[in-house]
Amino acid sequence: MTEPANLDRLEERLGYRFNDRSLLQEALTHASAGDANNERLEFLGDAVINLVVTEALFRNLPLHDEGKLTELKGVLVSRNTLKRVAESLGIAEYIHTGSGLPSGSELPPSVAGNALEALLGAIYLDCPDDTRLHRARHLALRWLQPEIDQLQHHWGRTRAKQELQIWCQRELGVLPVYEVTNTRDREAEDRFTVQVRIGEEVFTSAAAPNKKDAEHAAAWLAIEGLRASGRIVE
């Protein structure tokens, strides 16, 4: 088992001190290590993180419909996302496994993500009844914040062309036109500059390493401009 000093360091990374260390130990014990493992805590933690993420998206993105919220939630609670969060917290080195599995950095990616859910379940149980959901929410969102920031940026940019086209067809009966206004040499960081034209109106240009990304960025800027002028109201 991991020594207390090491668990102190893990608790610092998590931002939480356990009242019942046995819950922490259980959350870090993979099924391959024996009967007292983290699968039940993982089951609880999965429910908690789904609730926390769902509530956060609902409160913070009031203009998004159910389909968009579902898509965003699916990304944030996916195995890949939880694996990255677990890696950022350094959880893998504390997980106890049986002889059939490697340990530390050699663990299968899903094991650390599952342990992250188990840790959240353990924290939920360790807290007093009147504070457990508040505490679990605070910690889960803190752990996930880098992923949330990256997702909001990526999601908005990659879907901007589709959103702009739908709006143009519905409101104006035209399609947006993307025009390359400048091309720099291959070594340039922002090689392509693209502007969007909607009818006779030209919007702010955007630059990116390739034409596709420049078009996405230009569409996103056009949408922001239309929102600022009150023409897109969600």
Q: Which of 11, 46, 71, 93 is catalytic?
A: 46
User: How far apart, in whole angstroms, are the C-alpha atoms of residue 69 and residue 74?
Assistant: 8
First and final CA of the chain: distance in angstroms? 53
What letter does residue 31 receive in the DSSP assignment? Answer: G
65: left (phi over 0), alpha (psi -120 to 50) or beta: beta
User: How far apart, in whole angstroms, are the C-alpha atoms of residue 53 and residue 81?
Assistant: 13
Bridge pairing between strands 201-202 and 192-198 = antiparallel
11 has catalytic annotation: no
Element (H, E) at 208: strand 206-208
What is the DSSP secondary-structure string of 88-153? HHT-GGG-B--TTS--GGGS-HHHHHHHHHHHHHHHHHHS-TTTHHHHHHHHHHHHHHHHHHHHHH
Q: Which of 3, 8, 11, 117 is catalytic?
A: 117
117 has catalytic annotation: yes
* CB-CB contact of 2 with 22 (8 Å): no
Mind telling me the catalytic residues? 46, 117
